[in-house]
A and B are shown apart, each in its own frame.
Chain A
Amino acid sequence: MMSAYIDFIRIRFLMMLAYRVNYYSGIVIYAINIGAYYFLWQAIYGDKESLAGFTVAQMTTYVAVSWMARAFYFNNLDREIANEIRDGSVAVQLIRPYSYLFVKMMQGFGEGLFRMLLFMVPGMIVVCLLFPVKLPTDLSTWLIYLVMLFFSFLINSQINILTGLFAFFVENNEGMMRMKRVMVDLFSGVVVPIAFFPGWLSGIMQWLPFQAITYLPSAVFTGRTPSNEIAGVLGLQVVWFLGLLLPIWFVWRTARKRTFVQGG
């Protein structure tokens, strides 16, 4: 059975490979994105040495790493699921002998693997050449970062799946998906590290899963998180991964009961 699921990873990877040309332009656009934020932050820092515990150099690395992490964990699982619900093909998926959501996760992972190898890694090389990005030198930081990045992917995909599943309840959840994208970008810390948020807002963020997607791993990678806290931060990601399984399971159960297929 497991081999069938692994095949989903392979198939999605190969499918993405067929469309790889799109991602060359993606690298350019991400580089521009990073560049724009790099200059924006330079202007914000002015001649200040450090803000909210980030030095200018750390901030540059943070911006680059966060965007490149996004290049990896980003996927459109929400849209895929919503579309399948809306056009009714989810009905066919439901009668197949596999777990629909697990298949989606596997497809997402296939896409993630592709994005990592052909988007994130070359993108990172380009960005390191263009901007003064300082990568950590010890191997253990890299290893921990990779593990955390994997959890970023899991948590982001879980949020995507949850958003997508809402199509069962509202028929058209386009607005919701757009909102989710903006929320993830802002609250996960891609555009502003959580440490910069005003106190009350960062207080709220502590209790939401978004920071586990970008902020926590990037803060570890840039060396802002002291090494004795790293285990706790990783633990928080694991907790969120497990915690999000519950609402997904619940929504999925309720959704199947009230499924009605529109047309199709």
Chain B
Amino acid sequence: MRYAELFWEYLKNYAKTRLTYRADFWIEVLSDLLFQGMNLIFILIVFQHTPSLGGWSEAEVVFVYGFFMIPFGIFSTFFSIWNFSERYIVKGEMDRVLTRPAHNLYQVLLENVDPPSLIGSFVGAVIMVICWTQLGLPFHVMDIVMLLVFVIGAVLIYAGLYTALSALSFYSDAPTGIVPLMYNIQNYGRYPVNIYNKMIRFVLTWLLPFAFVGVIPASYFLEQKADDLSRLAWFTPIMGIIVFGLGLAFWNNGVKRYRGAGS
């Protein structure tokens, strides 16, 4: 309960700071959408040269992308901690966070909450609906429930991975360059994973399970494919809980080792 109150207070604070720089808000919304647009352009360009990608049609791949945008938008809203190592470790702001009673990760996340990213989720939902009708997929009420479960699972996977990545800076004192690079890898979970070789497939499914944020849960709604990825869809929430649990444990352990940067 106290955490919900905190959440509300932080949100009010956020609104105040953001209203100081009003133009930036819209620039950010625009850049977020453009960013997503770029990825769609890539898919559209690719399909100009081939009718199908590993047995997936253009509408299906775009559908997967639309699905991906929903959890990604939610994740970016609440886990916008790209500059964690720089701001909290190098500049020492973690000390301030640790002197307060609320859980430190919760505080860090709320200090960086980024609501404009949610717009991406809406756009993703719209893309999904458009592809849904284009593909003539049947619709059941159950699908909405499944969608919710998958989205939550997918958000947890992302959250866990990026919490762990941010926590890396507790262990190595150098600001790591991994986060921006990870940004590239996450893209591959959006394409049909059967086009990759076994190694990359394995990495994307079980080690850095980005496939569970895109192609696997989305395939649940699509027509069955030869390799039937949709069987794995049920693992999405389970993977979410496991990955987030591990990420949080890694974070908590890192906080214990945290010594402060001095200065």
Contacts and interface: CB of A to CB of B under 8 A. Distances in A.
Interface of A: 18-19, 21-23, 25-26, 29-30, 32-33, 35-36, 39-40, 42-46, 48, 51-52, 170-176, 178-179, 182-183, 186, 191-192, 196-198, 201
A19 B181 contact: no
A250 B192 CA distance: 47
Nearest to B51: A46
B35 A182 contact: yes
B23 interface: yes
Given A32-B185, A179-B31, A179-B35, A192 B178 contact: no
Interface string B157-192: 000000000000000101111100110110110011
B50 A170 contact: no
Give the size category of B's interface with A.
35 or more
Given A175-B30, A179-B31, A170 B200 contact: no
B214 to A, nearest CB: 13
Contact of B45 (A25, A43, A48, A192): A192
A19 B175 contact: yes
Given A25-B178, A26-B177, 18 more contacts: A19-B174, A22-B174, A25-B181, A26-B181, A33-B181, A35-B199, A36-B188, A40-B191, A40-B195, A45-B50, A46-B50, A48-B50, A52-B49, A170-B24, A178-B35, A183-B38, A192-B42, A192-B46
A256 B245 CA distance: 49
A42 B196 CA distance: 9
A177 to B, nearest CB: 9
Q: Which of B23, B45, B197 has the most CB of A within 10 A?
A: B45
B28 interface: yes
A198 B35 contact: no
B260 interface: no
Nearest to B201: A39
A182 to B, nearest CB: 5
A175 B117 CA distance: 11
B191 to A, nearest CB: 6
Nearest to A74: B180
B54 A43 contact: yes
Contacts of A42: 195
8 contacts: A29-B184, A40-B195, A42-B195, A44-B49, A46-B50, A171-B24, A175-B31, A192-B45
Contacts of B172: 21
B49 A176 contact: no
B97 interface: no
A218 B34 CA distance: 26
B188 A51 contact: no
A198 to B, nearest CB: 6
B11 interface: no
Contacts of B24: 170-175
Given A30-B181, A39-B196, A175 B174 contact: no
B144 interface: no
Contacts of A183: 34, 38
A197 B191 CA distance: 19
A36 B192 CA distance: 11
Contacts of A172: 21, 24
A176 B49 CA distance: 31
Contact of A39 (B23, B42, B49, B197): B197
Contacts of B185: 29, 32-33, 36
B32 interface: yes
B149 interface: no
Contacts of A33: 181, 184-185
A201 B172 CA distance: 44
Contacts of B42: 186, 191-192
A176 B54 CA distance: 35
Contacts of B255: none
B57 to A, nearest CB: 13
Contacts of A197: 45
A178 to B, nearest CB: 6
A186 B49 contact: no
Contact of A22 (B28, B178, B191, B200): B178
Contacts of A51: 49
A19 B38 CA distance: 32
B195 A175 contact: no
Contacts of B35: 178-179, 182
B178 A32 contact: no
B27 interface: yes
